[in-house]
């Protein structure tokens, strides 16, 4: 046993440790929200690829505790090692498993590289052994690198065609500065597509379908982001955007396959911009989110990942629900973010924001707190002066 007092160790957009009690408190909050807005039954089994943090964790919690599903999460998380804490995702899933057992429900975890054939085979074997067929396959994988045998690809956050210059906030010194990002090469565009496009989502769905592990009417959903015009050059019109276009094309093809074989369907769900481990690493986005939070909180329309996914299930994916989509067939949970009045206010603040007025006209404090909460720090109700056991296991 190795109890210790844990203080956050943060470098820029990376937190090097996690707090197990804080992570557990976060999961408890998500469970309470899921239970409050759902019937507690209606789904049989759900697989979440990338189910340990952010939107993936919220999807697992909503399905299991809101709709009674048997949940399986695939993730790549670091276990505790000696005096070093586990990753936040590890502690999140340990807490979710514990709460599931207490409620007579089931959460299984496959820990490894979701891109790999080995982990796909391991997941298929575990699902076969359990005897379940999946009602939902949720794809929420956000990884910087993909390895396949001797080949590897790394995603990049770059514009296309010309350099991109914009305001951004340095998470290390909290200064608002101008950044310039060089355009991507063709090889970088393709590498980003390999990591963040639709190829792996399709590989998962096809492997599960071929193994006869998808239930009649199975729904497959991959998460994406569009964002506002402010971030288009670095996001939707950049390398990530090209990858997301590939994801959308692939999802349309998967939907046709699922419809023909199982009477099912596949969708891309475009979610709201929020503080996640992935979004914190994207230039420009932390500053935009800080301004967005200020405006949406004032308007009473702000949602976190748990609220977003509870709404996704309640309005679109829950039993008896038919997803409402845009002209491209996408579910749009970013509807409140992209409301014209909200974006007009954000754009006006963007023109004004500087280092000197950052704390006054943006909710940078909220961004910073939400970032720390991802790793179990600054969570209300947790006594950080008390030592906690870091050697927490996952079944």
190 C-beta neighbours (distance < 10 Å), count? 16
Above pLDDT 70, what percent of the chain?
Answer: 100
Helix, strand and coil in the chain, % to nearest 5: 45, 20, 40
The per-residue pLDDT for 33 is 96
Q: Who contacts 252 (Cβ-Cβ below 8 Å, separation ≥6)? A: 266, 329
Tell me the per-residue pLDDT of 204-223, one tens digit each, with 9 for 90 and over. 999 999 999 999 999 999 99
Q: What is the pLDDT of residue 280?
A: 74
* pTM, rounded to two decimals: 0.96
Least confident of 230-234, 326-330, 346-350: 230-234
pLDDT tens digits along 355-375 = 999 999 999 999 999 999 999
Residue 23 predicted with pLDDT over 80: yes
Torsions phi, psi for 86 (to 5 deg):
-70, 175
Angstrom CA distances, 348 to 273, 335, 343, stand at: 18, 20, 9
Q: How confident is the model at residue 1 (pLDDT cuts 50, 70, 90)?
A: low
CA distance 267 to 252: 7
Q: What is the pLDDT of residues 252-307, one digit of tens each?
A: 999 999 999 999 999 999 999 888 777 777 778 889 999 999 999 999 999 999 99
**pLDDT, mean over the chain:** 94
Query: What pLDDT shows up at residue 236?
Result: 87
Confidence of residue 180 (pLDDT cuts 50, 70, 90): very high
As a whole number of angstroms, the distance between CA 200 and CA 49 comes to: 10
Contact 22, 376 (CB under 8 A): yes
Residue 395 has pLDDT above 90, yes or no: no
In the set 55, 91, 223, 235, the catalytic residue is 235
pLDDT at residue 393, as a whole number: 93
Question: How confident is the model over 340-353, as pLDDT tens digits?
Answer: 999 999 999 999 99
The angle subtended at Cα 91 by Cα 89 and Cα 96, nearest 5°, is 95
d(CA 374, CA 359): 21
Catalytic (active site) residue 235 = yes
Q: How many CA atoms lie within 13 A of 84 on its CB side?
A: 9
Phi then psi dihedrals of residue 208, to 5 deg: -70, -40
Residue 375 near residue 17, CB atoms below 8 Å: yes
CB within 8 A of 356, min separation 6: which ones?
none
């Amino acid at each position: 046993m190795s109890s210790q007092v844990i203080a956050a160790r943060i470098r820029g957009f990376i937190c090097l440790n996690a707090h197990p009690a804080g992570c557990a408190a976060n999961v408890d909050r998500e469970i309470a929200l899921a239970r409050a807005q759902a019937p507690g039954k209606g789904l049989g089994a759900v697989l979440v690829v990338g189910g340990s943090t952010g939107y993936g964790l919220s999807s697992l919690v909503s399905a299991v505790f809101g709709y009674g599903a048997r949940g399986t999460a695939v993730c790549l998380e670091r276990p505790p090692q000696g005096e070093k804490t586990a990753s936040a995702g590890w502690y999140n899933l340990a807490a979710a498993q514990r709460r599931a057992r207490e409620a007579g429900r089931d959460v299984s975890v496959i820990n490894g590289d979701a891109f790999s054939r080995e982990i796909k085979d391991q997941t298929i074997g575990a699902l076969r052994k359990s005897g379940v067929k999946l009602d939902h396959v949720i794809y929420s994988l956000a990884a910087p690198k993909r390895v396949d045998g001797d080949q590897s690809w790394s995603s990049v956050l770059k514009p296309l065609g010309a350099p991109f210059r914009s305001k951004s906030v340095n998470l290390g010194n909290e200064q608002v500065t101008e950044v310039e990002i060089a355009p991507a090469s063709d090889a970088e565009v393709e590498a980003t597509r390999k990591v963040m496009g639709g190829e792996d989502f399709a590989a998962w769905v096809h492997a599960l379908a071929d193994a006869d592990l998808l239930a009649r009417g199975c729904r497959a959903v991959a998460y994406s982001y569009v964002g506002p015009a402010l971030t288009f050059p670095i996001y939707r019109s950049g390398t990530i955007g090209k990858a997301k276009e590939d994801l959308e094309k692939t999802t349309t093809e998967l939907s046709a396959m699922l419809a023909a074989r199982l009477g099912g369907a596949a969708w891309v769900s475009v979610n709201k911009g929020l503080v996640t481990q992935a979004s914190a690493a994207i230039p420009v986005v932390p500053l935009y989110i800080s301004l967005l939070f200020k405006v949406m909180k004032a308007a009473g329309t702000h949602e976190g990942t748990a609220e977003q996914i509870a709404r996704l299930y309640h309005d679109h994916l829950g039993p008896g629900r038919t997803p409402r989509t845009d002209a491209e067939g996408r579910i749009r949970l970013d509807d409140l973010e992209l409301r014209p009045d909200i974006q007009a206010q954000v754009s006006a603040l963007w023109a004004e924001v500087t280092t000197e007025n950052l704390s006054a006209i943006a909710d940078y404090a909220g961004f910073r707190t939400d970032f720390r909460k991802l790793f179990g720090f600054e969570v209300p109700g947790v006594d950080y002066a008390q030592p906690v056991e870091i050697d927490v296991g996952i079944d």
